[in-house]
Amino acid sequence: MQALTERAKLVDRKPMTFVERLYLWNIFKGMIITFAHLFKKKVTVKYPEQKREFSPVFRGLHILNRDSEGRENCTACGLCAVACPAEAITMEAAERKPGEEHLYREEKYAARYEINMLRCIFCGFCEEACPKDAIYLTETFAPANFKREGFIYGKPDLLIPHPKTGQ
């Protein structure tokens, strides 16, 4: 049978020598590696005083975006929930009522929008799938919490503040 890739490597099945059976050489090599790490520069960051720089493609907490007038961009199309491989996003759609034109951009909006951060793998597929640029991942960490319920972010937690009123 031919290998599918050219990365196949033949394994040498020759019997081990007496020194190899004692494993002393392997233990000695491991100790050399351990002692070499003692003299290397420490990689620990002293967090409050010193901030770590992140990659420009770092993906953190989710944010639901608004337009310049403060209306929600999300139209509850469900593409972000379908694209999520971890099934962390749940939403319920609702119809906009007369008089709510200042709250929602389209006729349909997300009445309930939740992200379970315990399931989220921060892949960014929800951001790529959204046709209205309603959701994006920021450069902030997900904060720690003591209870599982604290990791389920609802719509009030995810919406950015209103650009005019600040709420």
In this structure, what DSSP letter does residue 35 have?
H
| 123 is an annotated ligand-binding site residue | yes
| 80 is an annotated ligand-binding site residue | yes
Strands (E), the chain: 62-64, 89-95, 108-116, 135-137, 152-153
Alpha helix segments (H runs only) across the chain:
18-22, 24-38, 79-83, 125-129, 155-158
Residues ≥6 apart with Cβ < 8 Å to 121: 85, 86, 88
| 47 is an annotated ligand-binding site residue | no
- How far apart (Å, rounded) are the C-alpha atoms in residues 105 and 101? 7
| 140 is an annotated ligand-binding site residue | no
| 92 is an annotated ligand-binding site residue | no
| 167 is an annotated ligand-binding site residue | no
Determine how many CB atoms are found less than 10 A away from the CB of residue 135.
23
- How far apart (Å, rounded) are the C-alpha atoms in residues 75 and 130? 10
- Binding-site residue numbers for [4Fe-4S] cluster are 74, 77, 80, 84, 120, 123, 126, 130
- Binding-site residue numbers are 74, 77, 80, 84, 120, 123, 126, 130
